[in-house]
Structure 1
Amino acid sequence: MQIRTTVWVMGAAALLAAPVAWAQFAPTKDSPIAYAADTFEADEGNHTAVFTGSVEFLQDTSRLRADKVTVTYGQNQATGKWDVLSTAEALGNVYYVVDDQVMTGSRAVYTKSTDTLVLTGNVVLKQGQNVMEGSRLVYNVGAKKSSMDGVPTTGSKSRVRGVFYPDQQKKSQ
Structure 2
Amino acid sequence: MIRQAVLPFALALALAHAAIAQTTGFGNAQDVKAPVEVTADSLQVDQATGLAVFSGNVLIGQGAMRLSADRVEVTYASGDARRISALQATGNVTLVSGQDAAEAQSADYDVNSGNVVLRGDVLLTQGQNVLAGETVTVNLATGTANASGRVRSVLQPGGN
Confirm or deny a common fold (TM above 0.5).
yes
Quote the Cα distance in structure 2 between the aligned partners of 1:164 and 1:85.
Answer: 36
- Which letter does structure 2 place at the counterpart of 1:17? A
**Structure with the largest fraction of strand:** 2
- SS at 2:94 equivalent: strand
- Higher RCO, Cα 8 Å, sep 6+: 2
Alpha-carbon distance between aligned partners in 2 of 1:41 and 1:85, rounded to the nearest angstrom: 16
CA gap 1:18/1:163 in 2 versus in 1, 3 angstroms:
same
Question: What per-residue deviation string (whole Å, max 9, x for no partner) do you get for residues 92-146 of structure 1?
Answer: 0000124543110101000000111000001001000111110001011232221
The match for 1:148 is: 147
The reply to whether residue 162 of structure 1 matches residue 157 of structure 2 is no
CA shift at 1:166, angstroms?
A: 1.0
Match in the other structure for 1:92: 91
Q: 1:57-136 alignment to 2 at 5 Å?
A: 57-75=60-78, 81-98=80-97, 100-136=99-135
Are 1:15 and 2:8 matched, yes or no? yes
Kindly provide the CA deviation profile for residues 78-99 of structure 1, in whole angstroms up to 9, marking residues without a partner as x. Answer: xx53220000000000001245
Distance 1:32 1:67 in 2: 22
Question: Which structure 1 segments of 5+ residues have no match?
Answer: 1-6, 152-159
Matched, 1:34 2:27: no
Task: Give ranges in structure 2 of 5+ residues lacking alignment.
Answer: 22-29
**Contact kept? 1:138, 1:147, Cα under 8 Å:** yes
Tell me whether 54-63 or 21-30 shows the greater mean CA deviation: 21-30
Counterpart CA distance in 2 for 1:117 and 1:99 is 20
CA distance in 1, matches of 2:116, 2:94: 13
Pick aligned residue for 2:19 from 7, 24, 27: 24
Under a length normalisation based on structure 2, what TM-score does the superposition of the two structures give? 0.84
SS of alignment partner, residue 82 of structure 1: strand
Separation (CA, whole Å) in 2 of partners of 1:163 and 1:48: 39
User: Identity, % of aligned pairs?
Assistant: 33
Letter paired with 1:109:
D
Equivalent position amino acid for 2:51 in 1: T
**TM-score normalised to the size of structure 1?**
0.78
